[in-house]
């Protein structure tokens, strides 16, 4: 699928609090490495190409970038690449980051942050991005446990002006309710995709829509196994892709956006051609029948802790 007027705006817009973003955004995780952020494969991508991809994304209308200080490889840091490529930042660019997990200077994973450590993680993101505050900070959880202490610590930083808006990542419905009793929640990032949905995914999707919260799936394209080619693509996805002269990845993105006006996409890539294909998917419109066929591929899974 190609487009003569390629623009992220074709996917429509949504508001993260008082910040308006195009629903087709960009995930920065793959800028730094060939493997996933939570894997041991941290082979670095080419720096100049990563910078070029970021600049091209903004040229194409992407104004929502998802990142984290723990997105780094031995030679690359996603935040620093963003700073180098896009600073001084466009006025309409919204950068969303996340805190909770931690990594040491050599890349080794540390224990998940305690409430008193979140200030340092927020300040690290601010320093790396070269900003005086963060637009949106997602608290990434690990398991279905109370969020009040951690989210309360972030709410204090929001009151201080270090954070503009708060979100959640890898959470259950009750954790969303618990957090909203402390401070407003503008987005929720959970694993969600064709055939890659947690048992509570539809409830979280519905809850976010009812509350006006953006739902932001991660791994909407890759999923378990397809990233390495270990799992073949569903024949139904291939059929729909052929009907639209599109790639399976584009169909997966189009399906994601079809799940509701509050759903945002943040596909990541270090490849300029893949970037343009992802943005083009924002203009692809699936029929109700196609959407139903693809949705039927869903299977409930356990909580994703990647």
> 195 in a domain, yes or no?
yes
Q: Structure pTM?
A: 0.91
Within a domain: residue 156?
yes
Peptide bond into 88 cis (omega under 30): yes
Residue range(s) defining the domain that contains residue 223? 8-301
| 101 within domain boundaries | yes
What pLDDT does residue 103 have?
83
Classified as helix, coil or strand, 157 is: helix
Residue 109's pLDDT is what? Answer: 82
* CATH number for the domain harbouring residue 137: 3.20.20.100
Q: Which of 71, 72, 192, 215 is catalytic?
A: 71
| 306, part of any domain | no
Is 3 within the bounds of a domain?
no
Q: Is 89 a catalytic residue?
A: no
Establish if 251 belongs to a structural domain. Answer: yes
- pLDDT at 230 (0 to 100): 56
Per-residue pLDDT of the chain (306 residues; tens, 9 = 90+): 544 579 999 999 999 999 999 999 999 999 986 545 444 444 556 899 999 999 999 999 999 999 999 998 888 899 999 999 999 999 999 999 999 998 887 778 877 889 999 999 999 999 999 999 999 999 999 888 899 999 999 999 999 999 999 999 999 999 999 999 999 999 999 999 998 777 788 999 999 999 999 999 998 886 544 454 557 888 999 999 999 999 999 999 999 999 999 999 999 999 999 999 999 999 999 999 999 999 998 654 443 433
pLDDT at 33: 67
- Residue at 1 is within a domain: no
| Closest among 126, 98, 123 to 112, alpha carbons compared | 98
> How many domains, in total, are found in the chain?
1
Which residues lie closer than 8 Å to 129 by C-beta, 6 or more apart? 67, 79, 82, 83, 95, 97
| Crossing angle (nearest 10°) for helices 272-280 and 248-258 | 40
């Amino acid at each position: 699928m190609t487009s003569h007027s390629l623009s992220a705006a074709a996917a429509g817009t949504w508001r993260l609090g008082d910040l308006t973003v195009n629903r087709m955004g960009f995930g920065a995780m793959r800028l730094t490495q060939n493997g996933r952020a939570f894997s041991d494969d941290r082979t670095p991508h080419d720096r100049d190409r990563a910078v070029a991809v970021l600049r091209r994304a903004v040229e194409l209308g992407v104004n929502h970038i998802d990142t984290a200080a723990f997105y780094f490889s031995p030679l690359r840091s996603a935040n620093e690449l963003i700073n180098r490529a896009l600073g001084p930042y466009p006025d309409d660019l919204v950068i969303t980051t996340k805190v909770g997990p931690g990594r040491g200077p050599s890349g080794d994973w540390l224990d998940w942050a305690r409430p008193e450590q979140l200030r340092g993680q927020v300040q690290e993101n601010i320093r790396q991005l070269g900003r005086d505050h963060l637009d949106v900070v997602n608290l990434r959880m690990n398991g279905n446990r109370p969020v009040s202490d951690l989210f309360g610590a972030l709410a204090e930083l929001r009151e201080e002006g270090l954070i503009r808006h708060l979100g959640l990542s890898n959470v259950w419905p009750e954790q969303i309710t618990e957090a909203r009793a402390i401070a407003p929640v503008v987005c929720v990032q959970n694993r969600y995709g064709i055939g890659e949905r947690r048992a509570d995914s539809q409830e979280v999707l519905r809850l976010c829509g009812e509350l006006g919260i953006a739902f932001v799936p991660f791994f909407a394209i890759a999923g378990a196994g397809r990233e390495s080619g270990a799992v073949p693509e569903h024949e139904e996805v291939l059929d729909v892709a052929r009907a639209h002269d599109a790639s399976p990845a584009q169909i997966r993105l189009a399906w994601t956006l079809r799940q509701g006006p509050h759903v945002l996409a943040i596909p990541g890539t270090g490849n300029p051609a893949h970037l343009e294909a992802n943005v083009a998917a924002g203009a692809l419109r699936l029929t109700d029948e196609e959407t139903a066929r693809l949705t039927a591929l869903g299977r409930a899974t356990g909580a994703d802790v990647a």
